[in-house]
Structure formats: C-alpha cells, structure tokens
Structure 1
Amino acid sequence: MVTYARVSFDRSGVGKSVEQQVDALQAEAVARGWIIGPVVTDVGIGASRFSTKERPGYAQLTTVLETGDILAVWEISRATRRTDEWAALVELCRSRGVRLFTGTRLLDLDDPDDEQQANQSHVSAVYETAKTRKRVKRDVDARAAQGKVHGQLGFGYRRVFDPETGARTWELDPVAAQAIREAVDGLLGGTTSMNRIIKRWNAAGLTTSTGKPWRQVTLRQMLLRESLAGIRVLRGERMEAPAVWPAIISEAEHLQIVARYRDASDPNPRRGAEVKHLLTGIATCYRCHQTINWQHRHEAGKVPQYRCPTGHVTRQAQPVDDLTELHVRYIIEQWRIEGFLAEPEQPDAAHQHLEEAARLEKLLADADAAYTAGDLSIARLTAIEKDLAPKIEAARERAASVATNPILHALVWDSKVTWDGADVQQRREFVRACLKIEIQPTRRGLREFDRESVKFWDISRGPASIMLLRNDE
C-alpha cells in the first residue's frame, strides 16, 4: 500500500495533520492485512486550481505506484481538487491496476460503479473549494470596502483587542512608527540614505515584522506600502473608504517616496551590501541600457573603470565622476541664480494636486454613472472623458514633480546638507534625483578621456523639462 497524505495549511509547522492521516490509514492497512509501503506527503500546499505551488510529493506517485498497488488517501480531496489531475490519476490507476482506498472504501477505478462514486466525490471536492473561495473573496471585498484590514499591517503597527467586545483593532507601534517617520523625513530631506537606515535599525535591534534583519529590498518594500499613509488597497486599486488604522506618514509623503523609490533601477535592490561608487547602478550603457558596474584592474597601469555588464562600453571611473560632480554643481548654481526654488511649493502641495486629481476623477465617475443610468449619451461621455483624462494625468504628474524636489531643495538651501560634506550614499541620491547619465563610445582617434562620450540630462525639474547638458569647460 502506498500512502499519500496532504494538508494545505499546517499551523503547527510540524505536519501533525499529515501524521494523523498516515497513522489512520496505516492502522486500516494492518487491520485489512495489507503490506505497508512507501509514504508520500505534501505539507502546506493546496491541491486546487487556485494553488500555484508545485506538489513534489504528489509528483512522486507516478514513479512510486507499481502494478497491483493500493493508493491510500484520507479522502479523494486529499489527492487532488483539480479536474485535469484527477483524470490523469484515474488513468494512471487504470493502466497499472492500482486500486484507490479513500479511508473507508476500496475502489476499483476500472469498475464503472466505483469510478462513478469516485468521480462524484471529486466533483463535490472541486465545488466546495470554489464555493469557499467565493465566500472568502466576498468577505475580503466587504472588508476592503469598509477600510478594514485583511491579514497583517506589518512593521509600524501592532494588533490589539477590545477587552469587552473582543474586536480586533490596530494601533501604532510607538517605536517602529517613530522609526518610520524619522526614516521618511531623512530620505526626503536628503539627510540620510537607505543603507544608513538599515545599519541604524539593525544596530538598534529593530527587525522586520517576521523578525529578520533589515535589507535594502525589505526596507524599500516596507516604505512603499500604501498602508503607511492610511490607504486601503484591494488588488491594486485604492478603496474609497478611509482606512480604519492610523496613518504613520501623510499621503503626500507616500507619493514622494513612491516617486523616488518605486523605480526598478534603484541600485542593487536585492543586495544588502552598500554601494561604494558614485555611478554604479545609475549611469547606463548607450546600447543595452543596463546600468554600469564598477571594476578595478590590479595589473600595472590599470585604473578603476565603469563598465557595461555586457561589455559594450568601458570608461575610466574618476574622470566620469569628476564630470558628474561638475554638472551637479552647475545645476545647483542655476537654481540659485534663477530662483527656481526661491518660492518652493508648500509642504502639502503634492496633496493638493492629488485632491485635484481625485475631484476630476469623481466628475468622470459621475459621468459614467449617468451614462449607465441612461441620462447621458455615449458621445457626451466620450467628450467628457477626452476633456478630463489629460487633466487628471496632469494633476498627478504635478504631484509627482513636487515629490522629486525635497532632497534637491535641501542640497541648495540647507547649510547642513552640502555636496562636499555628503557621503557617497547621499551624493548618489543627489545624482539620481537630478541627472540621467549615459555612457557612449569614445570618438575614434582620441587617446585622452573623451568628455563627449558621457551624456548628461538635467531631470531635476521633472519629466516635462528634461534638458541635455553640454560638457563644455
């Protein structure tokens, strides 16, 4: 007898439910005089069409089952809840003369009566799974519509229970919430960096919500969460109802963090090591558009270089860094001369732009509702959409453009934040916020460093005003 046992979710973490299934089935085998053979298990893995995990144990059955064996399962749903898998299992049992024991009855799947009973049990299991999923989805949707939590809020919050009603609520974790506020203030103000925060939090014993040390990827993911700004999201869509938990940062601050750190070109998001060179992961190759790496050759006469990962271009690092610094200083001076930041937008400017976008979206939603009710023609709805859609996009772009300025504003006006006094991480933040840099091939015949092979674009004023900078002395 081959035993297969499975449990979708094991709260204990040691597979007790699986052990109980195996014990019960083997007791039946002893009572019936069967020879106990291999035991195959899958723990913490679903068997329905909604499960995306592979089941290594179940896959073994094709090699473990031999002619004349008995396959014992606690019930048919333990074997599979997928119609395609069930059909394959039935065919496997038929072809090898394997009988199926379901805990109470031994079935011969070559017998039409036994096959019908097994098929009915399988259909019932599939239906129960789909019905449960529908019920859970309905509950999740209802909770989201009310701004309630589904699952865990994570770092920054703690769950509490009302002693009288037993209702679950969420409140700020005073230590973690304050750490988040300070981190966001520092990142947006240009006074700290991701790696500095990681070092400080790990040294202070602050861990992630799962008890692990912080890394750049986990810190970045945590800071990008909408829940920190009291925003309830369901399947990527923001819910209209206000969240029932308190916000740690403002929505405007959340937008600024998203604008600066959601970009997948963030340096080495999967590595915890601190980047030590100015343009690693920032400047890009002209041909493949991958970000460049830093390398140092130890042979005589070799100097540190920036190199495309594919080898399309290589350039000496120090002259490129020097040219980059020249452009940063130029941009700072231009701001001061032009008074670009002399009257910066108010701290809540991003929020005001978001409110304007929300107001316009409400008008568009009202128009759509009027069309659905028959009070508005399709031509009129199309005209309204054509008018409002670009205005909504423009309002969101204005909010995002405000989000790119805080660190640069600090560099220009805050006497405590200077290029000369900044460390590598802060300088990298400055460069990423105001420059796009591309390494191009050196012009033929030149032996010295070719300044024109490094292209700079001023992106400090937002995507609408990108300007190519010249490399003139």
Structure 2
Amino acid sequence: MTTATAALTAREYLRVSVDKSGTERSPEQQHSEHAETAAELGITLGKPYKDIGSASRYAKKARDDFERLLADLRNNRFGADLLWLWESSRGSRKTGEWVTLLDLCEEKGVRFYVQTHERILDPRNGNDRRTLLLDGVDSEYESYKTHKRVTRGVKTNLNHPGGARGHGVCPFGYERDYERVRDASGRRVMRPTEQRPKRDEAQAVIELFFRIRAGHSMAAIERDFKARGLVGRQGKPLSTRTMRGMARRVAYIGKRTHKGKELPASWPCVADFEGASYDGKPVSVAEFVKVFHEVQGILKDGDRRTNFSGGARHAFSGAHVCDVCDAPMTVTYRKAAGRPQPPAYQCHGKGCTRINKEKTDCLLRTVMLAYLGAELVTVQAELILKRSQLEAFEAEDPETPAEARLIGRKIERLTGEIRELEKGETELTPGPSPLAALFGYGLDVEKRWDATPVEAQRSIARMLLAPDVLGQVRVKQVSASASPNVTDRLRWVDADGRDVTPLSR
C-alpha cells in the first residue's frame, strides 16, 4: 500500500470476447487479478461494468455496460477515481470510441489503471495520454488483422468444392472432425474436415421439429427434454430460446447461410443416418426437409401472434417470480365449495406461493406508471437545459485559438449528451419499441396504458420489472411476510440481490 493510492476508489470494466480458444482471460479471472493488485495498493474496487462480446469496429452486438459506463461518466454517476482495465484493448478496439472514453475521463478527472501497464495513467498528462492513444491505435490495427484472417477463413470454407464447410461452433445434432494446418500467415489452426449427424443428438433434433409441427409448445418440449436429462453443448438443459433458434437453422437440412443467401453445405441433412426415426417410425431425408419447411411457416406465424393459444391475456403473468424457488408466477383459477375464487398468481414450479391477482396487478401498475411518467418528464427537462447550454456556446465569439478549442470541446460534449437524451426520449415516445405504444398520443400515462395491447403491456412490464430498472419482483410466502397484504408480500430486488424500494432508484 502507498500513501498516494490508499484513499483511491476504482470501478472495473471487465470485457471478454466470445473466445472459444480459451486464450482470453474471463471477466472473473480479470477481476481476481485486479482485486489482488488493488489490495496491494490499498485501492477500493466498486461495482464493476461487465460485457461479453467483441469491442472491434467489425462487431455487430452492442455492449450494454460500455454504453452505461459512458453515460455514467457524462452524467457524473461514475463515482470513483479510477477506471480499471485489464488492458487498453478491453475498453475498445475502435479508435474513435476509445478517444471519446479518454476525453470523458479527462473532463471528469477520472484516471486509468491498466493492469498490463502496472500503473495509473492520467489522460490529462501528455505522456500518459500519448501512451493511451497509441494503445487505441494498436488495438484497432490488431482487430483489423484478426478480421482479415477470419474473412479469409470464411471465404475458403464457403468456396470448398464439396460444399460450404462448417465455420464456428459445431451445431447441436452433429459431430465434426478437424485437421491441424497452417493458415496464410503461417499460424497453426484447426480446420474442419467432416461434419456428420451425431446419432443421439440428431434424434433429439428430429423430435424437436416433428413435435413443433404437431403443435407441441416449446415449454412442453423443454420440460420433457429436461426430465430425460438431455443437455446442450454447454452441459445445460435445452431452453425454449435455444430450441427456437435451433428450429430456424438451415444447417439441419444440409445448407449454410452467408449474408442472407443459402448455400449448399458440405455436411448432410441431420436425418441422413441409418436408423433416423420419430415415434417409432423411420424418417427419410426428404420427409425431414418437408417438415423443416413446415416448421418455418409455423414459427413465422408464431412471431406475429406471440402466443399459439390466441395471444397474451395477462400483462403481468411471468413478470414476477416465487421468492422460494425462483419459478415464474402464472395466473390460476380455483373453486371453493363449488364457487369460483378470485384469480391468483401461483408459483409455476412447486406451487410454493399464491397471491391475489387483482391486488398485485393494481400495485405493479401504479408503480410502473409513476415511473414511466416521471422518467419522460425528467428526460425532457434535461433536454431543454442541455439545448439552451448548447445554443449559448454556439453563440460565443472566442478571442483566442485556445478558447475556440475549449468551446469546441464543450459543444461536442453537449451534442453527444443531447444525442443520448434524444435517444432516451425516443424510447419513451412514438417509435418501434414497446414503450411507444404507451406514449403514442401524449402524456396521459394511464389512458395510454389502458389502450395498449396486452402483448405490448407484457413487454413493457418485463422491461421495467427487472433488477437494473425498478427491481425484480419476488413474491414471498405469507409466513415470511409482515402481513398478508400484497405490499408486504412483494420484494423488489436489484442485480446484486439487495432489497430496494421502487421509484427511489
């Protein structure tokens, strides 16, 4: 510990690409080494930001926590002295994005601790800033070289004379052979040679398609597969989401897609093996291909309807969970002495908890609508303030080049903040998101909610009743509550498992 660092606080940005080679340190490994170093220096680590995904300019998936980091810096919510990274490339491999992060940290007085540099770097210091900028340029160049290698590999696989070869993870239902070769740059890599159906898994894939065609729900198939101990590539039961993705893969009929175009593949249909069957009857390749295309029509229709039984009927069904077993709460109906009882939410797992539906819906609706109304007003008020500040700076007449640069940077910062606020306003006003249905015609939140289709209400409820927004809603048993009242039986829990009060966050 040093006197220079003993009172400092830091927040980590932990990121790892989806790395199948195992050469990258996982977020947990990064944190472990950060924590050890921080303890030696006497630095206190706060709540980290964490993403899994590429930071290169070729990446298509957004990094939610990186965007949250930028927003927290802009809005003075970062709350620490240092931003801690495993290496500079963990922050960003896009030079422009990296410079934005440096500028924000410089403006807010936030310094960097880069684990691989083993020291604190201050973006306000010319030498440190030069080091960080060079890191950004090097990271983007390395990203470019990786992209070129991957592109060459994909092109080689697509143009294979026996049909497009597999690239990436072998699909569930198949097994694959590899050979070790050298690529164009001389690196030793594993290249797929043959891909063929893996009998037990292939039988499960065939069953999945035939059962979807027969009208079985994904949830029913998931429960059945789980009871039989069927697991996916990660050793976990096949979830509804995973199986829905599987049901769309043209790989199962011996094809591959590239940029929206289907190509003949080098591997056979998943049903192309001796003994392929469903429900005791043989299944031919031609029959499976026919079922595959019928399932695509079913899934496409299901996307429009969202519910095979005629659409969602309850806005909050599945939006809260049992506090005992974590199972979702779903609507149930009972009779007592031959008379119908009020509908209630009941734990969908073991039936641990049960709570009055009408009273629960009323409370959840009240909290959500209060949050939505306040959120929009806050965003719009901040927009007015930022726009007025921008107009004032744009009207300035700087007397020196230094003053002009300072004003230019403030204008750039305000423009970025306004852009972020406008994005937030768009999500709360007319647009394609589920929230648009709520605010399409003004600020009368209650009327807009009542006029919104149940499917959209359900989407909004699941977005807002989440750990990082209002909190996950957990239903306690009566015996674990202060009273039988709905207010006492609902727990609101954040992402760290701590109880929170909705609307106070």
Same fold (TM over 0.5): no
Higher relative contact order (Cα pairs below 8 Å, separated by 6+ residues): 1
For normalisation by structure 2, the TM-score amounts to 0.43
Structure with bigger gyration radius: 1
Give the structure with the larger strand fraction. 2
